Amino acid sequence: QQQVKQSPQSLIVQKGGISIINCAYENTAFDYFPWYQQFPGKGPALLIAIRPDVSEKKEGRFTISFNKSAKQFSLHIMDSQPGDSATYFCAANYNTDKLIFGTGTRLQVFP
């Protein structure tokens, strides 16, 4: 049973375009929603995170949009660059400290 559902599995975007990755969750107890970025051969690294008391958080070209009523959150990468090509994971947790990940999205940005 996948607690955090992520889509799409893969995404191809032209340089300068907007990349959008979506996640949905069922457990309303989740209260922390991070996104991780992983390059081939490396461990994931924290990219940006949001709490459910805000609807949007922006850091540079990366924005998280959060819809609490729909139990959905998404990552937007503006002005996508070839260097953004990586696998992106959404995740969620609550006070048990279990950080649960989505299945990942492989992003390829072509020049």
Partner 1 sequence: NAGVTQTPKFQVLKTGQSMTLQCAQDMNHEYMSWYRQDPGMGLRLIHYSVGAGITDQGEVPNGYNVSRSTTEDFPLRLLSAAPSQTSVYFCASSYSRVYGYTFGSGTRLTVV
Contact between 58 and partner 1 per CB under 8 A: no
Contacts of 23 by beta carbon, 8 Å cutoff, 6+ apart: 4, 5, 6, 7, 33, 72, 73, 74, 75, 90, 92, 102
Q: Which of 21, 84, 102, 107 binds partner 1 (CB under 8 A)?
A: 102
Contact between 11 and partner 1 per CB under 8 A: no
99 in Cβ contact with 30 (< 8 Å): no
Of 80-99, binders to partner 1 (CB under 8 A) are 89, 93, 95-99
**Parallel, antiparallel or unpaired: strands 100-101 and 86-92:** antiparallel
Contact between 21 and partner 1 per CB under 8 A: no
Contact between 20 and partner 1 per CB under 8 A: no
Scanning 12-20, 59-67, 71-79, 102-110 for contacts with partner 1 by CB under 8 A, the matching segment is: 102-110
Residue 14 CB, shortest distance to partner 1, in Å, is 26
25 in Cβ contact with 16 (< 8 Å): no
Contact between 73 and partner 1 per CB under 8 A: no
